[in-house]
Structure 1
Amino acid sequence: MGFNKTLSRILTIAGFYTALTACSANQPTVEPDLPEKEYFRLAQEALDNNLPTTAAEQLKELETRYPFGEYSVPARLDLIYAQFEAGNFAAAHATADRFIKNYPDNHAIDYAYYMRGLSTYKGAETFLARYLDLNPAERDTTEFDKAFSEFADFLRRYPNSEFAPDAKTRMVYLRNMIAEHEVSIAHYYFKRKAPMSALRRGQEVVQSYPSTPAVEEALAVTIQAYMDLGLYDEAKQNLSVLANSFPNSEYLTKDKKFIPFKLPREADPDTLYWVSLGLIE
Protein backbone atom coordinates (compact mmCIF):
# COMPACT_ATOMS: atom_id res chain seq x y z
CA MET A 1 0.00 0.00 0.00
CA GLY A 2 2.82 2.45 0.88
CA PHE A 3 4.60 1.67 -2.40
CA ASN A 4 1.43 2.40 -4.39
CA LYS A 5 0.96 5.79 -2.67
CA THR A 6 4.58 6.75 -3.35
CA LEU A 7 4.30 5.70 -7.00
CA SER A 8 1.07 7.69 -7.40
CA ARG A 9 2.71 10.81 -5.94
CA ILE A 10 5.72 10.47 -8.28
CA LEU A 11 3.44 10.12 -11.29
CA THR A 12 1.44 13.19 -10.23
CA ILE A 13 4.58 15.34 -9.88
CA ALA A 14 5.91 14.04 -13.20
CA GLY A 15 2.60 14.90 -14.87
CA PHE A 16 2.72 18.43 -13.43
CA TYR A 17 6.21 19.09 -14.78
CA THR A 18 5.26 17.60 -18.15
CA ALA A 19 2.30 19.98 -18.37
CA LEU A 20 4.44 22.93 -17.26
CA THR A 21 7.05 22.11 -19.90
CA ALA A 22 4.37 21.86 -22.55
CA CYS A 23 2.97 25.27 -21.56
CA SER A 24 6.42 26.80 -21.72
CA ALA A 25 6.99 25.28 -25.13
CA ASN A 26 3.73 26.80 -26.37
CA GLN A 27 4.63 30.35 -25.26
CA PRO A 28 5.62 32.57 -28.20
CA THR A 29 9.20 33.74 -28.27
CA VAL A 30 10.16 37.25 -29.29
CA GLU A 31 11.94 36.95 -32.61
CA PRO A 32 13.46 39.94 -34.40
CA ASP A 33 11.22 40.90 -37.30
CA LEU A 34 13.54 43.64 -38.54
CA PRO A 35 17.21 44.41 -38.15
CA GLU A 36 18.00 46.64 -35.19
CA LYS A 37 19.14 49.45 -37.45
CA GLU A 38 15.80 49.41 -39.29
CA TYR A 39 13.79 49.85 -36.08
CA PHE A 40 15.97 52.82 -35.22
CA ARG A 41 15.62 54.29 -38.72
CA LEU A 42 11.82 53.96 -38.63
CA ALA A 43 11.74 55.70 -35.24
CA GLN A 44 13.85 58.59 -36.54
CA GLU A 45 11.63 58.89 -39.57
CA ALA A 46 8.53 59.02 -37.35
CA LEU A 47 10.10 61.74 -35.22
CA ASP A 48 10.99 63.74 -38.31
CA ASN A 49 7.36 63.48 -39.44
CA ASN A 50 6.06 64.59 -36.03
CA LEU A 51 4.69 61.16 -35.15
CA PRO A 52 6.09 60.68 -31.62
CA THR A 53 3.68 57.91 -30.65
CA THR A 54 4.75 55.84 -33.67
CA ALA A 55 8.38 56.59 -32.88
CA ALA A 56 7.93 55.45 -29.29
CA GLU A 57 6.41 52.16 -30.47
CA GLN A 58 9.37 51.48 -32.76
CA LEU A 59 11.87 52.37 -30.06
CA LYS A 60 10.16 50.10 -27.53
CA GLU A 61 10.24 47.27 -30.07
CA LEU A 62 13.94 47.85 -30.55
CA GLU A 63 14.49 47.88 -26.79
CA THR A 64 12.57 44.63 -26.38
CA ARG A 65 14.16 42.74 -29.27
CA TYR A 66 17.71 44.11 -29.02
CA PRO A 67 18.17 45.03 -25.33
CA PHE A 68 21.98 45.04 -25.64
CA GLY A 69 22.30 46.03 -29.26
CA GLU A 70 24.30 48.74 -30.93
CA TYR A 71 21.40 51.20 -30.85
CA SER A 72 19.95 50.31 -27.46
CA VAL A 73 21.40 53.34 -25.60
CA PRO A 74 20.53 56.05 -28.17
CA ALA A 75 17.14 54.39 -28.58
CA ARG A 76 16.43 54.81 -24.87
CA LEU A 77 17.38 58.48 -25.06
CA ASP A 78 15.13 58.98 -28.07
CA LEU A 79 12.35 57.13 -26.26
CA ILE A 80 12.38 59.75 -23.51
CA TYR A 81 11.90 62.46 -26.11
CA ALA A 82 9.27 60.55 -28.10
CA GLN A 83 7.16 59.82 -25.02
CA PHE A 84 7.46 63.44 -23.91
CA GLU A 85 6.42 64.77 -27.32
CA ALA A 86 3.49 62.35 -27.34
CA GLY A 87 2.26 63.89 -24.08
CA ASN A 88 2.95 60.74 -22.10
CA PHE A 89 4.85 62.60 -19.40
CA ALA A 90 4.67 59.86 -16.76
CA ALA A 91 6.23 57.36 -19.17
CA ALA A 92 8.91 59.87 -20.21
CA HIS A 93 9.76 60.46 -16.55
CA ALA A 94 10.00 56.73 -15.86
CA THR A 95 12.21 56.17 -18.92
CA ALA A 96 14.50 59.04 -17.94
CA ASP A 97 14.71 57.69 -14.39
CA ARG A 98 15.70 54.25 -15.68
CA PHE A 99 18.32 55.75 -17.94
CA ILE A 100 19.83 57.68 -15.01
CA LYS A 101 20.07 54.49 -12.95
CA ASN A 102 21.38 52.28 -15.76
CA TYR A 103 23.79 54.68 -17.50
CA PRO A 104 25.12 57.09 -14.86
CA ASP A 105 28.33 57.72 -16.85
CA ASN A 106 26.74 58.24 -20.25
CA HIS A 107 27.77 61.42 -22.09
CA ALA A 108 24.09 62.46 -22.35
CA ILE A 109 23.21 61.86 -18.71
CA ASP A 110 22.57 65.58 -18.19
CA TYR A 111 19.81 65.37 -20.81
CA ALA A 112 18.15 62.53 -18.90
CA TYR A 113 18.19 64.54 -15.66
CA TYR A 114 16.80 67.58 -17.45
CA MET A 115 14.02 65.61 -19.16
CA ARG A 116 13.08 63.95 -15.90
CA GLY A 117 12.39 67.36 -14.35
CA LEU A 118 10.72 68.68 -17.50
CA SER A 119 8.38 65.68 -17.65
CA THR A 120 7.24 66.27 -14.08
CA TYR A 121 6.82 69.98 -14.82
CA LYS A 122 4.72 69.46 -17.97
CA GLY A 123 2.64 66.74 -16.35
CA ALA A 124 1.79 68.99 -13.41
CA GLU A 125 1.06 71.92 -15.72
CA THR A 126 -1.34 69.80 -17.75
CA PHE A 127 -3.08 68.54 -14.62
CA LEU A 128 -3.48 72.05 -13.19
CA ALA A 129 -4.96 73.39 -16.42
CA ARG A 130 -7.54 70.63 -16.27
CA TYR A 131 -8.73 71.60 -12.80
CA LEU A 132 -8.56 75.39 -12.77
CA ASP A 133 -12.12 75.58 -11.45
CA LEU A 134 -11.15 73.98 -8.14
CA ASN A 135 -11.00 76.02 -4.94
CA PRO A 136 -7.40 77.19 -4.43
CA ALA A 137 -7.05 75.07 -1.28
CA GLU A 138 -7.97 71.97 -3.28
CA ARG A 139 -5.29 72.42 -5.93
CA ASP A 140 -2.24 70.28 -5.35
CA THR A 141 1.19 71.73 -6.15
CA THR A 142 3.10 68.66 -4.99
CA GLU A 143 4.22 67.85 -8.53
CA PHE A 144 5.44 71.42 -9.05
CA ASP A 145 7.50 71.09 -5.87
CA LYS A 146 8.85 67.81 -7.22
CA ALA A 147 9.72 69.41 -10.57
CA PHE A 148 11.52 72.23 -8.76
CA SER A 149 13.56 69.70 -6.76
CA GLU A 150 14.42 67.68 -9.86
CA PHE A 151 15.56 70.77 -11.76
CA ALA A 152 17.60 71.82 -8.72
CA ASP A 153 19.22 68.36 -8.64
CA PHE A 154 20.00 68.64 -12.34
CA LEU A 155 21.58 72.11 -11.96
CA ARG A 156 23.62 71.01 -8.95
CA ARG A 157 25.10 68.15 -10.98
CA TYR A 158 25.42 69.84 -14.35
CA PRO A 159 25.51 73.64 -13.93
CA ASN A 160 27.18 74.09 -17.31
CA SER A 161 24.81 71.89 -19.29
CA GLU A 162 23.27 73.38 -22.42
CA PHE A 163 19.89 72.73 -20.79
CA ALA A 164 20.78 74.65 -17.61
CA PRO A 165 19.43 78.06 -18.71
CA ASP A 166 16.01 76.64 -19.50
CA ALA A 167 15.91 74.76 -16.20
CA LYS A 168 16.76 77.96 -14.30
CA THR A 169 14.00 79.87 -16.07
CA ARG A 170 11.46 77.20 -15.26
CA MET A 171 12.54 77.13 -11.62
CA VAL A 172 11.92 80.88 -11.36
CA TYR A 173 8.48 80.37 -12.85
CA LEU A 174 7.77 77.49 -10.47
CA ARG A 175 8.76 79.52 -7.42
CA ASN A 176 6.56 82.40 -8.51
CA MET A 177 3.62 80.15 -9.22
CA ILE A 178 3.89 78.24 -5.94
CA ALA A 179 4.08 81.54 -4.03
CA GLU A 180 1.02 82.88 -5.87
CA HIS A 181 -0.77 79.65 -5.05
CA GLU A 182 -0.05 80.11 -1.35
CA VAL A 183 -1.46 83.65 -1.47
CA SER A 184 -4.59 82.48 -3.29
CA ILE A 185 -5.16 79.91 -0.55
CA ALA A 186 -4.77 82.68 2.05
CA HIS A 187 -7.59 84.62 0.40
CA TYR A 188 -9.67 81.46 0.38
CA TYR A 189 -9.15 81.14 4.14
CA PHE A 190 -10.15 84.77 4.67
CA LYS A 191 -13.45 83.97 3.00
CA ARG A 192 -13.79 80.99 5.32
CA LYS A 193 -13.13 83.28 8.31
CA ALA A 194 -9.94 81.41 9.17
CA PRO A 195 -7.35 84.19 9.63
CA MET A 196 -4.85 81.95 11.41
CA SER A 197 -4.69 79.64 8.40
CA ALA A 198 -4.39 82.65 6.11
CA LEU A 199 -1.56 83.99 8.26
CA ARG A 200 0.41 80.75 7.95
CA ARG A 201 0.15 80.92 4.15
CA GLY A 202 1.31 84.53 4.06
CA GLN A 203 4.22 83.78 6.37
CA GLU A 204 5.23 80.81 4.24
CA VAL A 205 5.58 83.04 1.19
CA VAL A 206 7.49 85.76 3.06
CA GLN A 207 9.90 83.25 4.61
CA SER A 208 10.32 80.71 1.82
CA TYR A 209 9.81 82.77 -1.34
CA PRO A 210 11.12 86.27 -0.46
CA SER A 211 12.30 87.05 -4.00
CA THR A 212 8.97 86.36 -5.71
CA PRO A 213 6.50 89.03 -6.84
CA ALA A 214 3.89 87.50 -4.52
CA VAL A 215 5.76 88.58 -1.38
CA GLU A 216 4.17 92.06 -1.49
CA GLU A 217 0.67 90.60 -1.35
CA ALA A 218 1.83 88.02 1.20
CA LEU A 219 2.89 90.82 3.54
CA ALA A 220 -0.54 92.38 3.10
CA VAL A 221 -2.05 89.00 3.93
CA THR A 222 -0.11 88.84 7.21
CA ILE A 223 -1.20 92.38 8.15
CA GLN A 224 -4.83 91.57 7.42
CA ALA A 225 -4.62 88.29 9.34
CA TYR A 226 -2.98 89.88 12.39
CA MET A 227 -5.65 92.56 12.42
CA ASP A 228 -8.42 89.99 12.19
CA LEU A 229 -6.81 88.14 15.10
CA GLY A 230 -6.49 91.32 17.15
CA LEU A 231 -2.69 91.13 17.15
CA TYR A 232 -2.14 94.79 16.37
CA ASP A 233 1.53 95.08 17.36
CA GLU A 234 2.43 92.30 14.93
CA ALA A 235 0.27 93.95 12.27
CA LYS A 236 2.15 97.24 12.74
CA GLN A 237 5.50 95.49 12.45
CA ASN A 238 4.54 93.87 9.17
CA LEU A 239 3.03 97.12 7.93
CA SER A 240 6.41 98.74 8.50
CA VAL A 241 8.10 96.01 6.47
CA LEU A 242 5.56 96.43 3.66
CA ALA A 243 5.95 100.22 3.60
CA ASN A 244 9.75 100.03 3.58
CA SER A 245 9.97 97.25 1.01
CA PHE A 246 7.13 98.38 -1.25
CA PRO A 247 6.56 102.13 -0.67
CA ASN A 248 4.22 102.32 -3.68
CA SER A 249 2.26 99.21 -2.77
CA GLU A 250 -1.34 99.02 -3.89
CA TYR A 251 -2.18 97.92 -0.34
CA LEU A 252 -1.13 101.29 1.09
CA THR A 253 -2.64 104.75 0.98
CA LYS A 254 -0.45 107.75 0.14
CA ASP A 255 0.26 108.30 3.82
CA LYS A 256 1.24 104.62 4.28
CA LYS A 257 -1.96 103.40 5.93
CA PHE A 258 -3.06 99.87 5.19
CA ILE A 259 -6.01 99.23 2.86
CA PRO A 260 -7.79 96.08 4.07
CA PHE A 261 -8.84 93.40 1.61
CA LYS A 262 -12.42 93.76 2.80
CA LEU A 263 -12.80 97.26 1.36
CA PRO A 264 -12.43 98.56 -2.20
CA ARG A 265 -9.14 100.29 -3.02
CA GLU A 266 -10.90 103.63 -3.59
CA ALA A 267 -12.57 103.60 -0.15
CA ASP A 268 -11.81 106.50 2.19
CA PRO A 269 -9.50 105.14 4.92
CA ASP A 270 -11.29 107.40 7.44
CA THR A 271 -14.35 105.20 7.08
CA LEU A 272 -12.62 101.96 7.99
CA TYR A 273 -13.78 100.11 11.04
CA TRP A 274 -10.33 99.46 12.56
CA VAL A 275 -10.17 103.11 13.62
CA SER A 276 -8.11 102.56 16.73
CA LEU A 277 -5.20 100.71 15.20
CA GLY A 278 -3.08 103.51 13.83
CA LEU A 279 -2.58 101.24 10.83
CA ILE A 280 -5.55 102.75 9.05
CA GLU A 281 -7.49 105.84 9.88
Structure 2
Amino acid sequence: MGFIKTLSRFLTIAAIYSVLTACSSGPTIEPDLPEQEYFDKGQEALDNSLPSTAVEHFKNLETRYPFGDYVIRARLDLIYAQHEAGDYIAAHAAADRFIKNYPDNNALDYAYYMRALSTYRGAETFSGRYLNQNPAERDASEFNKAFNEFADFLARFPSSEFAPDAKARMIHLRNMVAEHELNIAHYYFARKAPLSALRRGQEVVQHYPSTPSVEEAIAVTIQAYMDLELYDNAQTNLAVLKTNFPDSQYLDQDGKFIPFELPKEADPDTLYWVSLGLIN
Protein backbone atom coordinates (compact mmCIF):
# COMPACT_ATOMS: atom_id res chain seq x y z
CA MET A 1 0.00 0.00 0.00
CA GLY A 2 2.83 2.39 0.85
CA PHE A 3 4.37 1.91 -2.59
CA ILE A 4 1.04 2.65 -4.31
CA LYS A 5 0.53 5.83 -2.28
CA THR A 6 4.07 6.98 -3.07
CA LEU A 7 3.60 6.27 -6.78
CA SER A 8 0.24 8.08 -6.83
CA ARG A 9 1.75 11.10 -5.13
CA PHE A 10 4.65 11.12 -7.58
CA LEU A 11 2.33 11.00 -10.59
CA THR A 12 0.21 13.81 -9.17
CA ILE A 13 3.25 16.02 -8.65
CA ALA A 14 4.52 15.19 -12.15
CA ALA A 15 1.18 16.11 -13.68
CA ILE A 16 1.09 19.43 -11.85
CA TYR A 17 4.66 20.16 -12.93
CA SER A 18 3.81 19.41 -16.54
CA VAL A 19 0.87 21.83 -16.46
CA LEU A 20 2.96 24.56 -14.89
CA THR A 21 5.75 24.02 -17.40
CA ALA A 22 3.32 24.17 -20.33
CA CYS A 23 1.83 27.38 -18.98
CA SER A 24 5.18 29.03 -18.58
CA SER A 25 6.98 27.92 -21.75
CA GLY A 26 4.25 26.91 -24.27
CA PRO A 27 2.95 29.18 -27.06
CA THR A 28 0.27 31.65 -26.14
CA ILE A 29 -3.08 30.84 -27.73
CA GLU A 30 -4.72 34.00 -28.98
CA PRO A 31 -8.43 34.35 -28.30
CA ASP A 32 -10.81 33.78 -31.21
CA LEU A 33 -11.77 36.75 -33.31
CA PRO A 34 -15.40 37.60 -33.97
CA GLU A 35 -16.78 35.65 -36.93
CA GLN A 36 -17.23 38.71 -39.13
CA GLU A 37 -13.65 39.76 -38.52
CA TYR A 38 -12.34 36.47 -39.89
CA PHE A 39 -14.59 36.92 -42.90
CA ASP A 40 -13.56 40.53 -43.46
CA LYS A 41 -9.88 39.64 -43.16
CA GLY A 42 -10.35 36.91 -45.75
CA GLN A 43 -12.06 39.33 -48.13
CA GLU A 44 -9.33 41.92 -47.59
CA ALA A 45 -6.68 39.32 -48.38
CA LEU A 46 -8.43 38.43 -51.63
CA ASP A 47 -8.70 42.11 -52.55
CA ASN A 48 -4.95 42.42 -51.99
CA SER A 49 -4.17 39.34 -54.11
CA LEU A 50 -3.13 37.27 -51.09
CA PRO A 51 -5.17 34.09 -51.65
CA SER A 52 -3.10 31.90 -49.30
CA THR A 53 -3.75 34.36 -46.47
CA ALA A 54 -7.43 34.40 -47.36
CA VAL A 55 -7.51 30.58 -47.20
CA GLU A 56 -6.14 30.73 -43.66
CA HIS A 57 -8.79 33.23 -42.51
CA PHE A 58 -11.68 31.35 -44.12
CA LYS A 59 -10.48 28.06 -42.63
CA ASN A 60 -10.26 29.68 -39.20
CA LEU A 61 -13.81 30.94 -39.56
CA GLU A 62 -15.01 27.53 -40.71
CA THR A 63 -13.31 25.80 -37.77
CA ARG A 64 -14.40 28.23 -35.06
CA TYR A 65 -17.89 29.06 -36.34
CA PRO A 66 -19.12 25.93 -38.17
CA PHE A 67 -22.74 27.08 -37.76
CA GLY A 68 -22.13 30.82 -37.97
CA ASP A 69 -23.81 33.42 -40.12
CA TYR A 70 -20.83 33.75 -42.48
CA VAL A 71 -19.77 30.12 -42.81
CA ILE A 72 -21.59 29.40 -46.10
CA ARG A 73 -20.17 32.50 -47.76
CA ALA A 74 -16.75 31.69 -46.32
CA ARG A 75 -16.86 28.16 -47.75
CA LEU A 76 -17.69 29.55 -51.18
CA ASP A 77 -14.87 32.06 -50.95
CA LEU A 78 -12.55 29.33 -49.73
CA ILE A 79 -13.04 27.49 -53.03
CA TYR A 80 -12.05 30.60 -54.94
CA ALA A 81 -9.12 31.41 -52.63
CA GLN A 82 -7.67 27.91 -52.93
CA HIS A 83 -8.08 28.04 -56.69
CA GLU A 84 -6.31 31.40 -56.86
CA ALA A 85 -3.54 30.06 -54.61
CA GLY A 86 -2.95 27.27 -57.13
CA ASP A 87 -4.11 24.52 -54.79
CA TYR A 88 -6.47 22.99 -57.32
CA ILE A 89 -6.87 19.68 -55.52
CA ALA A 90 -8.03 21.46 -52.37
CA ALA A 91 -10.32 23.74 -54.38
CA HIS A 92 -11.90 20.73 -56.07
CA ALA A 93 -12.41 19.01 -52.71
CA ALA A 94 -13.92 22.16 -51.19
CA ALA A 95 -16.31 22.51 -54.13
CA ASP A 96 -17.30 18.86 -53.75
CA ARG A 97 -18.05 19.37 -50.05
CA PHE A 98 -20.13 22.44 -50.77
CA ILE A 99 -22.18 20.55 -53.37
CA LYS A 100 -22.88 17.74 -50.92
CA ASN A 101 -23.59 20.00 -47.92
CA TYR A 102 -25.71 22.67 -49.65
CA PRO A 103 -27.63 21.00 -52.50
CA ASP A 104 -30.26 23.76 -52.51
CA ASN A 105 -27.97 26.78 -52.24
CA ASN A 106 -28.42 29.58 -54.77
CA ALA A 107 -24.70 29.50 -55.55
CA LEU A 108 -24.64 25.79 -56.34
CA ASP A 109 -23.91 26.50 -60.00
CA TYR A 110 -20.76 28.33 -58.97
CA ALA A 111 -19.59 25.32 -56.94
CA TYR A 112 -20.13 22.96 -59.89
CA TYR A 113 -18.34 25.36 -62.22
CA MET A 114 -15.37 25.81 -59.89
CA ARG A 115 -15.09 22.07 -59.40
CA ALA A 116 -14.67 21.57 -63.14
CA LEU A 117 -12.39 24.58 -63.50
CA SER A 118 -10.13 23.28 -60.73
CA THR A 119 -9.74 19.96 -62.53
CA TYR A 120 -9.01 21.81 -65.77
CA ARG A 121 -6.43 24.12 -64.19
CA GLY A 122 -4.76 21.25 -62.38
CA ALA A 123 -4.38 19.26 -65.59
CA GLU A 124 -3.14 22.32 -67.43
CA THR A 125 -0.56 23.06 -64.75
CA PHE A 126 0.70 19.48 -64.72
CA SER A 127 1.10 19.47 -68.49
CA GLY A 128 2.81 22.84 -68.45
CA ARG A 129 5.66 21.48 -66.35
CA TYR A 130 7.03 19.85 -69.47
CA LEU A 131 8.76 22.67 -71.30
CA ASN A 132 8.34 22.95 -75.06
CA GLN A 133 5.70 20.25 -75.09
CA ASN A 134 2.10 20.63 -76.14
CA PRO A 135 -0.25 19.58 -73.32
CA ALA A 136 -1.92 17.23 -75.77
CA GLU A 137 1.26 15.15 -75.69
CA ARG A 138 0.70 14.34 -72.03
CA ASP A 139 -1.83 12.14 -70.24
CA ALA A 140 -5.31 13.30 -71.23
CA SER A 141 -7.27 11.63 -68.43
CA GLU A 142 -7.60 14.80 -66.36
CA PHE A 143 -8.72 16.77 -69.40
CA ASN A 144 -11.40 14.15 -69.98
CA LYS A 145 -12.44 14.45 -66.34
CA ALA A 146 -12.67 18.25 -66.66
CA PHE A 147 -14.75 17.89 -69.84
CA ASN A 148 -17.19 15.57 -68.08
CA GLU A 149 -17.45 17.90 -65.08
CA PHE A 150 -18.15 20.90 -67.30
CA ALA A 151 -20.77 18.81 -69.13
CA ASP A 152 -22.37 17.92 -65.81
CA PHE A 153 -22.42 21.58 -64.84
CA LEU A 154 -24.05 22.63 -68.13
CA ALA A 155 -26.65 19.88 -67.91
CA ARG A 156 -27.69 21.15 -64.47
CA PHE A 157 -27.33 24.89 -65.05
CA PRO A 158 -27.64 25.69 -68.77
CA SER A 159 -28.62 29.31 -68.02
CA SER A 160 -25.87 30.00 -65.49
CA GLU A 161 -23.73 33.07 -65.96
CA PHE A 162 -20.75 30.69 -66.08
CA ALA A 163 -22.24 28.58 -68.89
CA PRO A 164 -20.61 30.46 -71.82
CA ASP A 165 -17.15 30.05 -70.33
CA ALA A 166 -17.80 26.37 -69.62
CA LYS A 167 -18.89 25.79 -73.23
CA ALA A 168 -15.78 27.50 -74.57
CA ARG A 169 -13.55 25.40 -72.34
CA MET A 170 -15.31 22.22 -73.44
CA ILE A 171 -14.58 23.04 -77.08
CA HIS A 172 -10.94 23.61 -76.21
CA LEU A 173 -10.82 20.36 -74.24
CA ARG A 174 -12.31 18.36 -77.13
CA ASN A 175 -9.67 19.80 -79.44
CA MET A 176 -6.94 18.91 -76.97
CA VAL A 177 -8.11 15.33 -76.53
CA ALA A 178 -8.45 14.84 -80.30
CA GLU A 179 -4.93 16.15 -80.82
CA HIS A 180 -3.73 13.85 -78.08
CA GLU A 181 -5.21 10.85 -79.93
CA LEU A 182 -3.34 11.82 -83.09
CA ASN A 183 -0.05 12.20 -81.21
CA ILE A 184 -0.50 8.65 -80.00
CA ALA A 185 -1.29 7.51 -83.56
CA HIS A 186 2.02 8.93 -84.79
CA TYR A 187 3.74 7.25 -81.87
CA TYR A 188 2.37 3.92 -83.09
CA PHE A 189 3.35 4.65 -86.69
CA ALA A 190 6.93 5.20 -85.58
CA ARG A 191 6.85 1.82 -83.85
CA LYS A 192 5.42 -0.07 -86.81
CA ALA A 193 2.01 -0.58 -85.21
CA PRO A 194 -0.40 0.66 -87.92
CA LEU A 195 -3.41 -1.17 -86.49
CA SER A 196 -3.09 0.74 -83.21
CA ALA A 197 -2.60 3.98 -85.16
CA LEU A 198 -5.72 3.19 -87.18
CA ARG A 199 -7.81 2.85 -84.04
CA ARG A 200 -6.66 6.26 -82.81
CA GLY A 201 -7.53 7.89 -86.13
CA GLN A 202 -10.95 6.24 -86.14
CA GLU A 203 -11.53 7.42 -82.57
CA VAL A 204 -11.10 11.04 -83.65
CA VAL A 205 -13.26 10.67 -86.77
CA GLN A 206 -16.08 8.98 -84.86
CA HIS A 207 -16.08 10.90 -81.58
CA TYR A 208 -14.50 14.27 -82.40
CA PRO A 209 -15.74 15.06 -85.92
CA SER A 210 -16.11 18.78 -85.26
CA THR A 211 -12.50 19.32 -84.16
CA PRO A 212 -9.71 20.70 -86.35
CA SER A 213 -7.96 17.32 -86.01
CA VAL A 214 -10.45 15.39 -88.12
CA GLU A 215 -8.64 16.10 -91.41
CA GLU A 216 -5.42 14.64 -90.07
CA ALA A 217 -7.36 11.77 -88.49
CA ILE A 218 -8.70 10.72 -91.91
CA ALA A 219 -5.16 10.89 -93.26
CA VAL A 220 -4.03 8.67 -90.39
CA THR A 221 -6.61 6.04 -91.36
CA ILE A 222 -5.48 6.16 -94.98
CA GLN A 223 -1.84 5.70 -94.05
CA ALA A 224 -2.71 2.93 -91.60
CA TYR A 225 -4.75 1.02 -94.19
CA MET A 226 -1.91 1.32 -96.68
CA ASP A 227 0.57 -0.02 -94.12
CA LEU A 228 -1.82 -2.90 -93.48
CA GLU A 229 -2.15 -3.44 -97.26
CA LEU A 230 -5.90 -2.91 -97.07
CA TYR A 231 -5.97 -0.82 -100.21
CA ASP A 232 -9.73 -0.84 -100.77
CA ASN A 233 -10.26 0.64 -97.33
CA ALA A 234 -7.56 3.17 -98.03
CA GLN A 235 -9.27 4.11 -101.30
CA THR A 236 -12.60 4.60 -99.50
CA ASN A 237 -11.08 6.87 -96.88
CA LEU A 238 -9.17 8.79 -99.54
CA ALA A 239 -12.50 9.57 -101.20
CA VAL A 240 -13.80 10.85 -97.87
CA LEU A 241 -10.75 13.09 -97.49
CA LYS A 242 -11.15 14.49 -101.01
CA THR A 243 -14.85 15.17 -100.49
CA ASN A 244 -14.54 16.91 -97.15
CA PHE A 245 -11.12 18.51 -97.55
CA PRO A 246 -10.45 19.03 -101.27
CA ASP A 247 -7.55 21.37 -100.46
CA SER A 248 -6.10 19.08 -97.81
CA GLN A 249 -2.41 19.32 -97.02
CA TYR A 250 -2.36 15.53 -97.36
CA LEU A 251 -3.26 15.70 -101.07
CA ASP A 252 -0.97 16.74 -103.89
CA GLN A 253 -2.07 18.79 -106.88
CA ASP A 254 -3.34 15.68 -108.63
CA GLY A 255 -5.44 14.64 -105.65
CA LYS A 256 -3.10 11.83 -104.67
CA PHE A 257 -2.34 11.07 -101.05
CA ILE A 258 0.90 12.38 -99.58
CA PRO A 259 2.23 9.71 -97.21
CA PHE A 260 3.46 10.50 -93.73
CA GLU A 261 7.16 10.47 -93.04
CA LEU A 262 8.74 8.50 -90.26
CA PRO A 263 10.55 10.43 -87.51
CA LYS A 264 14.29 10.60 -88.11
CA GLU A 265 15.04 8.23 -85.26
CA ALA A 266 12.80 5.50 -86.66
CA ASP A 267 14.04 2.94 -89.14
CA PRO A 268 12.13 3.06 -92.41
CA ASP A 269 9.96 0.09 -93.17
CA THR A 270 9.09 -0.98 -96.72
CA LEU A 271 5.37 -1.10 -96.03
CA TYR A 272 5.44 2.30 -94.36
CA TRP A 273 6.59 4.05 -97.52
CA VAL A 274 3.82 2.58 -99.64
CA SER A 275 1.59 5.49 -100.63
CA LEU A 276 -1.61 6.03 -102.49
CA GLY A 277 0.26 7.49 -105.43
CA LEU A 278 -1.16 4.84 -107.73
CA ILE A 279 -4.71 5.38 -106.56
CA ASN A 280 -6.71 8.16 -108.23
User: TM-score w.r.t. structure 2 length?
Assistant: 0.83
1:278 maps to 2:278:
yes
| CA–CA distance in structure 1, aligned partners of residues 39 and 90 of structure 2 | 19
Per-residue CA distance 1:156-214 (angstroms, 9 max, x = gap): 00000000000000000000010011111111111111111111110100011000000
Asked whether the 8 Å contact 1:137–1:185 carries over to 2, the reply is no
CA 1:36–1:88 in 2, change beyond 3 Å: closer, same or farther?
Answer: same
Compute the displacement of 1:136 (Å): 9.0
Give 1:81-160 correspondences, 5 Å limit.
81-131=80-130, 139-160=138-159
CA 1:132–1:185 in 2, change beyond 3 Å: closer, same or farther?
Answer: farther
Q: Which residue in 2 is equivalent to 1:239?
A: 238
Q: Which runs of 5+ in 1 are unaligned?
A: 1-14, 264-271
Letter aligned with residue 257 of structure 1: K
Letter aligned with residue 38 of structure 1: E
User: TM-score w.r.t. structure 1 length?
Assistant: 0.83
Asked whether the 8 Å contact 1:137–1:188 carries over to 2, the reply is no
Compute the displacement of 1:133 (Å): 6.5
Asked whether the 8 Å contact 2:256–2:277 carries over to 1, the reply is no
1:201 maps to 2:200:
yes
Query: Which portions of structure 1, spanning 4 or more consecutive aligned residues, are displaced by more than 6 angstroms?
Result: 133-138
Asked whether the 8 Å contact 1:224–1:235 carries over to 2, the reply is yes
Asked whether the 8 Å contact 1:92–1:116 carries over to 2, the reply is yes
Asked whether the 8 Å contact 1:100–1:113 carries over to 2, the reply is yes
| CA–CA distance in structure 2, aligned partners of residues 136 and 37 of structure 1 | 43
| CA–CA distance in structure 2, aligned partners of residues 71 and 152 of structure 1 | 31
Asked whether the 8 Å contact 2:55–2:81 carries over to 1, the reply is yes
Letter aligned with residue 66 of structure 1: Y
Asked whether the 8 Å contact 1:232–1:277 carries over to 2, the reply is no
The sequence identity of aligned pairs, in percent, is: 71
Q: Which residue in 2 is equivalent to 1:169?
A: 168
| CA–CA distance in structure 1, aligned partners of residues 235 and 225 of structure 2 | 9
1:183 maps to 2:182:
yes
Compute the displacement of 1:275 (Å): 7.0
CA 1:254–1:65 in 2, change beyond 3 Å: closer, same or farther?
Answer: same
| CA–CA distance in structure 1, aligned partners of residues 275 and 196 of structure 2 | 25
CA 1:31–1:63 in 2, change beyond 3 Å: closer, same or farther?
Answer: farther
CA RMSD, Structure 1 to Structure 2 (Å): 2.7
How many residues align structurally?
251
Compute the displacement of 1:222 (Å): 0.5
Compute the displacement of 1:273 (Å): 6.0
1:192 maps to 2:191:
yes
Q: Which residue in 2 is equivalent to 1:218?
A: 217
Q: Which runs of 5+ in 2 are unaligned?
A: 1-7, 20-28, 263-271
Q: Which residue in 1 is equivalent to 2:62?
A: 63
Q: Which residue in 1 is equivalent to 2:252?
A: 253
| CA–CA distance in structure 1, aligned partners of residues 196 and 132 of structure 2 | 22
Asked whether the 8 Å contact 1:32–1:65 carries over to 2, the reply is no
